[in-house]
Amino acid sequence: MKTLYLVIVIIAVPLILAACQTGNKTTTTELLKPSADNFATANGHTKKWWKEAVVYQIYPRSFKDSNGDGIGDLKGITSQLDYIKGLGVDVIWLSPMYDSPNADNGYDIRDYRKIMTEFGTMADFDELLKGVKQRNMKMILDLVVNHSSDEHAWFAESRKSKDNQYRDYYIWRPAKDDKEPNNWTSFFSGPAWKKDPATGEYYLHLFAEKQPDLNWDNPKVRHEVYDLMKFWLDKGADGFRMDVIPFISKDQSFPDFPADYDGNYGKVYASGPKLHDYVQEMNREVLSKYDVMTVGEAAGVTLEQTPLLVDERRNELNMIFQFDVVSIDRQGWRWKPWTWPEVKAIYTRYDKALDVHSWNTVFLTNHDNTRVVSRFGDDTPQYRVPSAKALATMLLTLKGTPFVYQGDELGMTNYPFTKIEEFDDIQVKNAWKAEVLTKQVGIVDYIAHLRKTSRDHARTPMQWDESPNGGFTTAAKAWLPVNPNYKEINAKQALADQNSIYYYFKKMIELRKRTPALIYGDYKDLDPQNPTVFAYTRSLGADKYLVVLNLSKNDLAYTLPEGLKAGQLALSNLNGKEENVPVVNLKGWEARIYQL
């Protein structure tokens, strides 16, 4: 009897203690669900915190400078955590903050375990992460492991000799007919191979010459990567955005571009033979051991290939960024016209292709794109605010985890670039050398396209207030010029105005959070061919929402399709008040959400 009693105590006490701990967790995490919830489903989807989260991307160089050197830094981010939390976002994605010579602004990493000196120290990073957690947010890091910097110690060794122990950390090939090993091209102009004097062999670089591609077929490289991932996860990072992850596996025979090649090299680079083996191995070795979120940047991945990376039964990644929407208006640096029915069709195609086992992302821009309001909205004074709000409505009501890019919550616009000297981006400078200086392209033509396509539009500093340089820095000069419209468009102004874009994002995020139908509900485009109205429903059981967006500056009377009547107004970006009517009168860029 006594022994039985003892056995019961031995078993029960730890169980009760464990239960109490789980209980505590539930009360301390606000919106992010504890892992017990991972088994619950909604509309067929397994519930996950990262499906319910709204992510805010920070480009550290341009967010906030704390020490007056003109460059954003980690302390600067820490000082603005309340501003970020105030929006209601759950997760911060930090673009690279690792030690780097900055050939590509941190996407060329010299030391994966060190903080870039300009951004601060490891203590500053720990402080930032602590501040994020104190506010019940999470933070994911940028994992850039398709390539490193040529200044990484591995590459310094690798290039020394053919028998160096690090030689196989990178991809080396001898010349073919006195030329590059194949005809692949770099994203930043010119061939993807560079001859290295020490051994006379070529190394592969799909991006800049200073970004040699790592050799993932070498198991040592893969394990180095897994180790550095664990290093950051053990510090408390909550996952990764994985830079060009589909490019990690290469066909080691390096064939030329295929005969039916359409100029989309991403498509060729993204279909390496061992991609899924490697991502599954990474999942087994690292990701499966932590409760983290992963999002693969998936340039070149087609609709058909998407479930292979994100179907949860395959144990690879949680989500990917697919490029169809953000490449709709450009090819390289060239701008091209686009239409809303094309954009809508992309969402619909993805929605049909991804079943309950896969999950999507929704993003309209990032640090590689132009400003969302200038690109998809209307940045003229009359429509900037309503169109930014209409686009926020779309971003936060489509199906998938939404990603907000820094400054979009202020409706920051494209920069009025007029000359080449104003740009920083290596992509711009290299194409200038390769195409303009060789007289294949005219200067005026080139700048005209860049005004609508350059990545630098998204990289100009955050506009905090009306003081010089928009309050981004106390230095006389910021690393990239601040948009001259900072006196009208800045965070201080937004926080003082209840009708600002910032507060609209906040309201919209709150609505999304308390409305499961807007997260897990079915999506249906009611009027795919309509050139300016995007009308769709999100429904979960009996809970049904109608989103109606006027994506033009023209006022219009819109007859709801399928005999629908607008129901009860849940949110509007202008002052529209109509309810329960079959025809809605929308002003230019008006957005409404109805509960049906």
Positions touching ligand TEU (CB under 6 A) are 104, 107, 144, 187, 207, 243-244, 266, 297, 299, 367-368, 427, 455
Measured from the CB of residue 365, what is the shortest distance to Ca ion in angstroms? Answer: 24
> By CB under 5 A, which span of 62-70, 211-219, 302-310, 482-490 interacts with Ca ion?
62-70
Q: Judged by CB, which is closer to ligand TEU: 392, or 428? A: 428
Task: Point out the residue whose Cβ comes nearest to Ca ion.
Answer: 73
Strand order in the sheet with 591-595: 522-525, 533-540, 543-550, 591-595, 568-572
Residue 89 is encoded by which pair of tokens?
């976002």
CA within 13 Å, CB half, 74: 23
Identify residues 252-291 at the interface with Ca ion (CB under 5 A): none
Partner interacting with residue 71 (select from Ca ion, ligand TEU, none; CB below 5-8 Å by kind): Ca ion
Q: Given 104, 243, 378, 409, which residue is catalytic?
A: 243
CA pair distance 207, 196, nearest whole angstrom? 16
Q: Are 223 and 217 in contact (CB under 8 A)?
A: no
Select the binding partner of residue 280 from Ca ion, ligand TEU, none (C-beta < 5 to 8 A, by kind). Answer: none
Please identify, using beta-carbon distances, which residue of 106 and 521 lies nearer to Ca ion.
Answer: 106
**Is the Cβ of residue 368 or residue 424 nearer to ligand TEU in the bound state?**
368
Query: Which tokens sit at 321?
Result: 């960024």
Tokens of 244: 């060009």
- Residues counted in the chain: 596
For residues 52 and 89, give the distance between their C-alpha atoms in angstroms, rounded to a whole number.
10
Q: Is the dihedral of CA 279, 285, 287, 288 positive or negative?
A: positive
Structure tokens at 350: 């993805």
Which of Ca ion, ligand TEU, none does residue 578 bind (CB under 5 to 8 Å by kind)? none
β-strands 193-195, 202-204: how paired?
antiparallel
Pick the catalytic residue from 108, 297, 456, 527.
Answer: 297
Is 243 a catalytic site residue? yes
CB of 297 to ligand TEU, least distance (A): 6
Minimum CB separation from Ca ion for residue 61, in Å?
Answer: 9
Q: Are 311 and 354 in contact (CB under 8 A)?
A: no
144 vs 395, beta carbon nearer ligand TEU: 144
How wide is the angle at C-alpha 231 spanned by C-alphas 228 and 236, nearest 5°?
135
Name residue 74's amino acid: L
Residue 150: which of ligand TEU, Ca ion, none does it interact with, CB under 5 to 8 A by kind?
A: none
Asked whether position 73 contacts Ca ion by CB under 5 A, the answer is yes
Min CB(188)–ligand TEU separation in Å: 7
Range in contact with Ca ion (rule: CB under 5 A) among 2-10, 73-81, 296-304, 488-496: 73-81
Calculate the alpha carbon distances from 45 to 37, 264, 293 in Å: 12, 34, 16
Of 29, 37, 69, 338, the one binding Ca ion (CB under 5 A) is: 69
Name which of 269 and 534 has its Cβ closer to ligand TEU: 269
* Token pair belonging to 163: 């028998």
Nearest residue (CB) to Ca ion, 69 versus 127: 69
Which of these ranges, 66-74, 222-230, 349-357, 547-555, lies near Ca ion under the rule CB under 5 A? 66-74
Read off the tokens for 265: 């090299």
The least CB distance from residue 382 to Ca ion, in Å, is: 36
Rounded to an integer, what is the distance from CA 158 to the centroid of its chain? 32
| Structure token pair of residue 346 | 């992309």
Q: Which one of residues 32, 53, 60, 65 is an interface residue with Ca ion (CB under 5 A)?
A: 65
Q: Which residues bind Ca ion (CB under 5 A)?
A: 65, 67, 69, 71, 73
Tell me which residues are annotated as active site.
Answer: 243, 297
